Amino acid sequence: MDLFEYQGKSLYGNYDIAHPNSFLINEIEDLNQGFDLAYPVVVKAQVQVGGRGKAGGIKLANNNEELTKYSNEILGMDIKGHTVERILIEEASEIKEEYYLSFTLDRSEKKYLMMLSAKGGMDIEAVAEENPDDLTMVHIDPSQGLDEEIILEAIINSKLNPDYQQELLEIISRLFELFVTGDCDLVEVNPLAITAGGVMALDSKVSLDMNAKYRHEYFDKIENEIPIPPSEKAAKEKGLNFIKLDGTVGIIGNGAGLVMSTLDVVAEYGGSASNFLDIGGGAKAETVSAALEVLESDDSVSSVFINIFGGITRCDLVAEGIVEATTGKDLKWPIVIRLDGTNAIEGLKILKDNPNEKIIITKTMNQAAELAVKGNN
């Protein structure tokens, strides 16, 4: 689960990780409560998407008037489809140098991976591609952990300021402790900065492993603060395996592999999926009906592609679910269907016996993807 910046920084406090003083507001009236920060302050939109600075979601305020003005402008702002509902206001730092640090999992190596660079405050992917020597990558054996010698070697190899070596060692150690004991999939700080007040984590990108939820009571509180799209909430209530995406073609399939392939073929024809929705093996009519109801709650959907390859899943039951969900309804988008496998002939007959002008039956996955993308335009 990806956290907002303010949530990640709240975890910093549990590990004595230095970061700027700040407070959170949900509405302009919260500014009237008063705060103990010194100007200038940085007004930062809290959204789970990159590029907020370029979008105008980060401003420097030098006084109360500017703070109110920028807060008004940023609250409610749309940044790449994400509405700003919270703002983090924090003391501006006098930055001397900016570094990059992250801890994540390298599953191919079955080890943790630390990445450190003196080129902080910029796109680390670009650094890795254009100047790979500027990025130090260190694999860490989980059974041995991260000792001081490894950290110091990484600091030296990354050519970080030697005058702050001890402070860097301590903050990197604490961030690694957060990563491991906090059950994180990712801890990224960009920038990790040398400031007039010492070494500080000026940003926070943290992702939690929700499989470890039973070990951390605060996971529930954090999860409850993250808004869930209506479609994702509806899917969760119906017990469906659903992930919201940024596209416009609604996807329903049986089996994660088939759904992933469906996303790929839609992309090949110039479309993009609005979701990942796996009804699983052995899905019944009511499961298919529930899946279509979920997509009805998603305003971003412009067409639907149902891709079923029957094994355990029976195509006739899928067809019954489609008929149940669409009969008597004025569908707001076309539904393109590809049925193959167990009881496909029976399933196709059910659909043909219950015609709907918005339902399109195809023979192949490629044909279905092409029509779903066309129906989307």
What CATH number should be reported for the domain holding residue 310?
A: 3.40.50.261
Residues contacting residue 322 through CB under 8 Å, at least 6 positions apart: 288, 289, 292, 306, 335, 337, 351, 359
Answer yes or no: is 267 within a domain.
Answer: yes
255: left (phi over 0), alpha (psi -120 to 50) or beta: left
- List, by residue number, the catalytic residues: 100, 188
Q: Are residues 64 and 131 in the same domain?
A: no
Answer yes or no: is 33 within a domain.
Answer: yes
**Under a CB-based contact definition with an 8 Å cutoff, are residues 67 and 97 in contact?**
no
pTM of the model: 0.75
In this prediction, residues 52-78 reach a mean pLDDT of: 94
pLDDT in tens, 130-182: 778 889 999 999 999 999 999 999 999 999 999 999 999 999 999 999 999 99
pLDDT in tens, 348-360: 999 999 988 899 9
Q: Are residues 169 and 122 in the same domain?
A: yes
pLDDT of residue 377: 55
d(CA 291, CA 277): 8
Q: Are residues 282 and 268 in the same domain?
A: yes
375 has a pLDDT exceeding 80: no
DSSP letters spanning 260-308: HHHHHHHHHTT--BSEEEE--TT--HHHHHHHHHHHHT-TT--EEEEEE
Q: Domains in the chain: how many in total?
A: 3
Q: Are residues 254 and 340 in the same domain?
A: yes
Q: How confident is the model at residue 246 (pLDDT cuts 50, 70, 90)?
A: confident
In this prediction, residues 292-298 reach a mean pLDDT of: 88
Answer yes or no: is 8 within a domain.
Answer: no
Q: Are residues 213 and 101 in the same domain?
A: yes
Q: How is residue 251 written in tokens?
A: 């996807």
Widest distance between CA atoms in the chain: 78
Q: Are residues 106 and 175 in the same domain?
A: yes
Answer yes or no: is 134 within a domain.
Answer: yes
List the domain range (segments joined by +) for residue 60: 21-91
Q: Are residues 64 and 148 in the same domain?
A: no
Q: Are residues 279 and 321 in the same domain?
A: yes
d(CA 101, CA 145): 17
Answer yes or no: is 260 within a domain.
Answer: yes
In this prediction, residues 182-201 reach a mean pLDDT of: 96
| Mean pLDDT across the chain | 92
What CATH number should be reported for the domain holding residue 32?
A: 3.30.1490.20
Answer yes or no: is 236 within a domain.
Answer: yes
Residue with tokens 């029509």: 371
